[in-house]
Amino acid sequence: MDFSNKLVKWYQINKRDLPWRNTTNAYHIWLSEIILQQTRVEQGLPYYLAFIQAFPTVERLAKAKEDKVLKLWQGLGYYSRARNLHYTAKDIVKNHDGKFPKNYQKLVQLKGIGSYTAAAISSFAFHLPYAVVDGNVIRVLSRVFGIDTPFDSTAGKKQFQQLAQHLLIEQEAAVYNQAIMEFGALQCKPKSPNCTFCPMQEFCEAYNSNKIDELPIRSKKVKVKKRYLHFLMIHSDKGICIGKRDTGIWKGLYEFPFLEFPDSIPDSQVIESDDWQNIFGGYNLEIKSVSSNFTHQLSHQKIHAKFWEIKINNFSVKGFEKINREDIVKYPVSRLMEKYLNTINAD
């Protein structure tokens, strides 16, 4: 267990002072873990502090309106995390007397809590011997032990989980888990890891076989879909039209009506399209402006968007409500919408 002991020693010297590391409060730990999924610590920390301030207990989070939860989450992306967070808070209050189960198997049954988060809560809050396996852990184990099994394969997931559990210092599960994640975040980084001053250098397979840039291995290449959206900021009767999305990655967020096309097309073709005519046919309207192209990269799609500012009298869109233009800041919107609104607010 030379690796494990060196890891803990490294952590004691190099660890960052983060608020969720100074508590065994399961609610605070759960909140931090959900926020930090797909999110860097520097970005996630202000959100964690804002959530703790707004919802200091799981009961307060459970009672909150979904719009408020999503508004606080705005800008973090992967909004299903926020929706699951809210759902699970209500579940814990209703079915678990407001207390997180002190049992890994029960934790993993809660919505939005997978094996990694359940292991984190189990070890950090309840000192139970469960090893965490996230992207940082996979990278460290793959490089140090020379594992070339694709981590996203069934065999790979099993191999990494078994090795992580084997290396765990059971009496110090919380410290060990924090240590290996911190080591991946600060030392064994995805790009330009600090191999020159690494305590694992002597027995690191990737370092000694010059495979640092090759490991870990992913088998499935993520296919990115291109989407071309035209959002319509419609001014009518001193209000603008927005609606709450009920499906997709932005479910629960508010947005303008939009048109989608399979390819990038000129603005003139947008106006001539059947989709445009289905909304505006027969009405006199004024196109006040058309934005430049906004690109927004998501894990499985790249969005190319334009925003049309349109003025039209006595008009409404089915499924959308009218709000005062200045009130839009109160509504949770996607990062893409936020980027556009920031440009027009700055004018």
At position 100, the amino acid (one-letter code) is F
From CA 187, how far away is CA 137, in angstroms rounded?
12
Return the ∠ at Cα 243 (arms to 335 and 227), rounded to 5°. 50
Q: Which two tokens stand for residue 154?
A: 């069934």
Helix, strand, or coil (residue 234) = strand
Q: Which two tokens stand for residue 22?
A: 């100074």
Beta strand segments in the chain, E: 225-236, 239-244, 254-255, 258-261, 286-290, 294-297, 301-311, 321-323
234 to each of 36, 88, 287, 320, how far by Cα in Å? 36, 36, 9, 11
Return the ∠ at Cα 53 (arms to 49 and 57), rounded to 5°. 110
Residue 33 known to be catalytic: yes
* Half-sphere exposure for 231 (CA within 13 Å, toward CB): 25
Task: Tell me the pairing of strands 301-311 and 225-236.
Answer: parallel
From CA 319, how far away is CA 27, in angstroms rounded?
37
Are residues 250 and 334 in contact, defined by beta-carbon separation less than 8 angstroms? yes
- Which one from 33, 182, 255, 309 is the annotated catalytic residue? 33
Catalytic residue ranges: 33
